[in-house]
Amino acid sequence: PDTESIDYSLGIYSGDIDKYEVSIYDSTGVTLIHTDTHLPAFSNPITGTFLYLTQNTSYKIVVTAWIGSFSKTSCSVLNTATLLAP
């Protein structure tokens, strides 16, 4: 984390996966802020950065894998936060 951005990096299984979505929500997990969509051919790891966030704020990151119209959300939700500027 930085003061206004959060980087992510995740190892993936590319088998039959059609796309991965990495979404960032507010700290309650209710309000979707942004979703990054990753399509084949996947880099491994998949990386990205969520920008223009509010400093010193908590967020939740959720990863969803898609095979056709079937989706599976990652078992764990990552709780993270931006840093307070010095």
Q: What's the pLDDT at 61?
A: 95
Q: Would you give the end-to-end CA distance of the chain in angstroms? A: 14
Kindly write down the DSSP assignment for every residue of 13-61, as one continuous string.
--SS--EEEEEEEETTS-SEEEEEEE-SSPPSSEEEEE-SPPTT-EEEE
Does this model's pTM top 0.95?
A: no
pLDDT (tens digit per residue) in 8-27 = 998 887 688 999 999 999 99
Flag whether pLDDT at 73 surpasses 80. Answer: yes
The answer to whether the Cα torsion of 54, 56, 58, 61 is positive or negative is positive
